[in-house]
Structures are given as C-alpha cells and as structure tokens.
C-alpha cells in the first residue's frame, strides 16, 4: 500500500509540473483578457476620466495596458507602477519547456516585483497586447493551486493504493495463501490422494503454479504408494526366504545321504542336486541379508588385513577344487586397518568369489590377485583377476541389488551388499578396470583421523 501511494504520488508530480506551468500561463492570459476588455472601454469613450481609468486597471489587476490595433494606432491605459519591471514574458508562442522553467522560477522567487506580459489580443482585436502586473498575487495563486493539487493527489493516491491493495489481496494474496495452506495440509499426509490440490485460482500464473503443484503431488503420492507396496512385498519376500531356507537346509541333509548311495546314476546326479540346493540356500540367505533394510553399522577394530585375506583365499581355494586357478596376495607386512573384520571378510569374499566364478566359467586357467596399498589418507585393497571381464548387462546395474547379476545361478546381490558394507565404513567400492584381459575392483577405506 505504501509503495502504491509513493508511485501514485510520483505520477502526480509528473502531472503537477506541466499543470502548474499551464496554470500560470492561464492566469496571465486571463489578465491579458481583462486588460483588453478594460482598454476597449477607451474605444467607446475617447476621453476617459482618470478615476475611471484607475478603476478599470484595478479591476483588471494590472498597472498598464498597451493594445496595439495596427502599426499606428494604439490604446494605452496607465497608472503609476510601484517598482521597475523585472522581467518580460511573451505568451504569443511559448515553448512548454520555457513555460515550465518560468513557472518554477516564479515559485522560487519570493521577491515582490512587476512583470511585463505580452500576448495576442482575443478575437483579433489588435496585433498585440501588453500589460504590466504584480508578481505576488500570481505567485500566491500558484501556491494555492499547487497545494490544492497536492492534497488532491494525496487523496487520489491513498484511494488508489487502497483499491490496489484490495485487488492484490483478492487476486493474488488469497490464492497464494490458499496454495500454501494446501501444501501444509498435503504435507501432513502425502499418501492421501484426497489432499492433492485442485487448481481453482483465476489468475493465470497462480493457476499454472497450482497445476504444477498438482502434478508434483500426484507423482509423489503415487511414488509413496509404490514404495509402500514394495516395502510390503519386501517383507513378504523376507518371510518366504526365511522359511524356504529352513526347508532347503533340511533338504540339504537328505542330499548328503543320497550322495552316499551305491547306485551309480544316483551318485552321478547327487552332486548336481547338492550344488543346486546349496545355491538356493545361498539365494535365500542373501535375500534375507538384503531384506534387513540396512546392514548394521560396522564395529571398527584394529584388524590385520593379511589374516582376513588368508581366510578369504582359503575358503575360495576349497571351492576351486582342481580348476587351474592361482591365488596371489601382496599385502604390506603387518598392515593393520581400522575396519569391521567380519564385514571386510564378506566384502573381499564376495569380490574374490565373483572373480573365481568368472574364471571358472571360461574353463581356462587364471589368476586372482589380492593386493593392498597403504596410502597417506586411505587403504586401497584391490581384487584383480584374469577373467573374461564383466558382461555388459552386469556393468549397467553393477551395484544395484537383484539387477546386476548376469551369472547363471547368481542372485545379483553380492556386489550390492559389498558396496553397501564399504560405504558403511565411509569408503568406496569401485570397478577400476574391466576388459577381455580381466577385471579389477578397488576397495577404498578412509583412514579418518588416524587414531585407532
């Protein structure tokens, strides 16, 4: 409202400047006209009584009048002037800028004085009319007029501001407030589709904002519902996995016995059955592990990396059997890390198992190398293999649960779990290299402030 008042006042000042100049011009024109009428009286009576002359001049509020009718004839009324003439203004063809300038000079000049004004007589009653008049009444009239204009503009601006304020409130503030209210209401229960805003504003921009908000809220509500459904599904899968694992473990016990059978065909089939069931148990266990929304945060202790790597290699060696796969380790002597040994084992076991499985799938000989580098800020552990490299499908969703798996019988969880565990340590699991000559995964563990 204050701003509107200021702007309207500014506009009024812009109007005031030319109008005060116009007022002054009209005032002087008016005097010229009155003087002309007074001087015409002289036309009627050749000789004029000095008292009447003075009376005529007083009525016209001028000291002198000269009405030039043609080159020779001219009429003159005169009375004594109190001061000498301090300026002459020609109103016959005035430029607006000069009128404005003169008006302001007039306002600024507080001195009482006499000015000469020249103009064209009305009704072509002569070629020129000239008067002398006092400045003080002119200046006072101008000040009066100015004050009236100022008061008027103040009233106009307050009324305009008030109307504008009402309009703004009705057309902008109310709709915006209603949008904000909707947002707050929606935020209380975003899954409730009934709380999604229904665009109703009349102002285009606000309506557009409402429509955008409606789209956003609709998408968010849908996403939340989807998430809820997925969470329920996840729980159901966890429960199924749990019970399935128990059933399969029992089955495993029976297959162990079947393996001892004397029947050659049963003996031949038994290992396949065992490995299938083992894979199924593994799938159930990994699903269960992943289902626990998040891995527990690591319990950091001083851990000997060499020991963990030995454990990993040992367990993998068992799985290799007779396959021509070499294990090489290169760990700085006595290197100790700050990590959760159980979780670090799972990370390295997953990476090494993947490498082993990849090489075994090719049926060719290969080498798996586990190395560690002690950098100033991080510990870097690399698992390198000479396998066939990652298939494109695995590369696309590498660390995404259930999606990165490209191996027959794999669940696509190993890398997702390993990466989550490393992240729990504040570190990063990265694929450093993969091509036909092999693959390198790097685990980067930050040392933190270095205190154990």
Among 411, 427, 429, 443, binds ligand ATP (CB under 6 A): 411
* Residue 106 interacts with ligand ATP (CB under 6 A): yes or no: no
The binder of 298, among Mg ion, ligand ATP, none, by C-beta within 5 to 8 A per type, is none
Q: Closer to ligand ATP by CB, 42 or 351: give it.
A: 351
Per-residue interface string for the shown chain with Mg ion, residues 341-360, x marking contact by CB under 5 A = -------------x------
Taking residues 213 to 252 in sequence order and writing x for each that binds Mg ion by CB under 5 A, - otherwise, the string is ----------------------------------------
Give the integer Cα–Cα distance in Å for 73 and 71.
6
At which residue do the structure tokens 């004594």 appear? 80
DSSP string, 202-254: SSHHHHHHHHHHHHHHHHHHHHHHHHHHHHHHHHHHHHHHHHHHHHHHHHHHH
Q: Longest C-alpha distance within the chain, in Å? A: 163
Q: Hey, how many other C-beta atoms are within 10 angstroms of the C-beta on 284?
A: 23
Which sign does the torsion angle of CA 94, 96, 101, 102 carry? positive
Q: Which is closer to ligand ATP, CB of 203 or CB of 289?
A: 289
CA angle 392, 393, 397 (to 5 degrees): 110
- Taking the CA atoms of residue 237, residue 242, residue 243 and residue 248 in that order, the dihedral angle to the nearest 10 degrees is 110
Answer with the entry of ligand ATP, Mg ion, none that 413 interacts with (C-beta below 5 to 8 A by kind): ligand ATP
Asked if 286 touches ligand ATP (CB under 6 A), the answer is: yes
Among 414, 416, 421, 422, binds Mg ion (CB under 5 A): 414
391 interacts with ligand ATP by CB under 6 A: yes
Contacts of 436 (CB under 8 A, 6+ apart): 388, 389
- Residue 370, interface with ligand ATP (CB under 6 A)? no
Does residue 410 belong to the site contacting ligand ATP (CB under 6 A)?
yes
Query: Applying CB under 5 A, what is the total number of residues that bind Mg ion?
Result: 2
Give the full edge-to-edge strand order of the sheet including 325-330: 325-330, 366-374, 378-385, 438-446, 428-435
Considering only 117, 129, 277, 413, the residue that binds ligand ATP (CB under 6 A) is 413
Coil, strand or helix at 156: helix
Provide the mask over 331-360, with x wherever binding to ligand ATP is found by CB under 6 A and - wherever it is not.
Answer: -------------------x---xx--x--
**Contact call for residue 119 and Mg ion (CB under 5 A):** no
Query: If you search the block for the tokens 């007029």, which residue do you land on?
Result: 145
C-alpha 191/C-alpha 222 separation (Å) is 8
Count of residues that interact with ligand ATP, criterion CB under 6 A: 23
Signed CA dihedral, 189, 193, 195, 197: sign only: positive
Give the C-alpha separation, 61 to 35, whole Å. Answer: 8
CB nearer to Mg ion: pick between 39 and 354: 354
Cα dihedral 237, 240, 244, 247, rounded to 10, equals: 170
- DSSP one-letter code for 296: P
Q: Which of 121, 126, 341, 414 binds ligand ATP (CB under 6 A)?
A: 414
Q: Is 387 in the site for ligand ATP (CB under 6 A)?
A: yes
* Binding partner selected for residue 175 from Mg ion, ligand ATP, none, CB under the kind-specific 5 to 8 Å limit: none
Burial 1-13 (b: 16+ CB within 10 A, else e): eeebbeebbeebe
- Backbone φ and ψ of 325, nearest 5°: -120, 130
Q: Which one of Mg ion, ligand ATP, none interacts with residue 439, CB within 5 to 8 A by kind?
A: ligand ATP
Least distance to ligand ATP, CB of residue 428, Å: 16
Of 238 and 354, the one with the shorter C-beta distance to Mg ion is: 354
Q: Rounded to the nearest whole angstrom, what is the least distance from the CB of residue 441 to ligand ATP in the complex?
A: 7
Minimum CB distance to ligand ATP, residue 327 (Å): 14
- What residue ranges bind Mg ion (CB under 5 A)? 354, 414
- What residues line the site for ligand ATP (CB under 6 A)? 286, 350, 354-355, 358, 385, 387, 389-391, 394, 404-407, 410-416, 439
């Amino acid at each position: 409202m204050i701003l509107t008042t200021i702007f309207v006042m500014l506009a009024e000042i812009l109007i005031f400047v030319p109008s005060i100049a116009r007022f002054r011009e009209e005032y002087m024109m008016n005097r010229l006209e009155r003087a002309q009428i007074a001087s015409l009286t002289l036309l009627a009576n050749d000789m004029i009584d000095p008292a009447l002359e003075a009376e005529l001049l007083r009525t016209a509020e001028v000291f002198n009048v000269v009405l030039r009718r043609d080159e020779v004839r001219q009429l003159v009324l005169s009375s004594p002037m109190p001061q000498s003439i301090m300026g002459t203004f020609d109103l016959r063809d005035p430029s607006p800028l000069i009128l404005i300038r003169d008006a302001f000079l007039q306002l600024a000049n507080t001195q009482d004085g006499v000015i000469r004004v020249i103009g064209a007589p009305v009704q072509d009653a002569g070629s020129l009319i000239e008067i002398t008049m006092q400045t003080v009444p002119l200046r006072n009239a101008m000040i009066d007029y100015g004050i009236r204009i100022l008061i008027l503009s103040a009233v106009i601006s307050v009324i305009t501001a008030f109307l504008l304020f009402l309009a703004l409130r009705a057309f902008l503030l109310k709709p915006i407030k209603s949008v904000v209210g909707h947002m707050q209401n929606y935020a209380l229960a975003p899954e409730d589709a009934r709380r999604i805003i229904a665009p109703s504003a009349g102002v285009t921009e606000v309506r557009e904002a409402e429509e955008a908000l409606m789209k956003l809220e609709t998408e968010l509500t849908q996403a939340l519902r989807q998430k809820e459904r997925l969470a329920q599904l996840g729980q159901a899968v966890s429960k199924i996995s749990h019970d399935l694992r128990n059933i399969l473990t029992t089955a495993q016990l029976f297959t162990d016995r079947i393996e001892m059978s004397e029947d050659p065909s049963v003996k031949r089939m038994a290992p396949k059955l065992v490995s299938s069931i083992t894979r199924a148990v593994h799938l159930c266990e990994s699903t269960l592990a992943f289902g626990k929304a998040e891995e527990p945060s690591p319990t950091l202790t001083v851990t000997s990396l060499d020991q963990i790597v030995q454990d990993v290699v040992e367990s993998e060696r068992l799985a290799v059997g007779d396959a021509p796969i070499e294990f090489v380790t290169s760990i700085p002597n006595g290197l100790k890390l700050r990590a959760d040994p159980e979780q670090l084992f799972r990370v390295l076991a997953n990476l090494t198992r993947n490498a082993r499985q990849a090489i075994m799938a090719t049926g060719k000989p290969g080498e798996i190398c586990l190395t560690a580098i002690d950098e100033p800020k991080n510990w870097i552990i690399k698992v390198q293999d000479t396998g066939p490299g990652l298939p494109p499908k695995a590369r696309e969703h590498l660390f995404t649960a259930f999606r990165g798996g490209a191996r027959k019988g794999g669940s696509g969880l190993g890398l997702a779990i390993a990466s989550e565990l490393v992240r729990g340590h504040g570190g990063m699991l990265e694929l450093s290299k993969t091509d036909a000559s092999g693959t390198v995964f790097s685990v980067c563990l930050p040392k933190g402030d270095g205190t154990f």
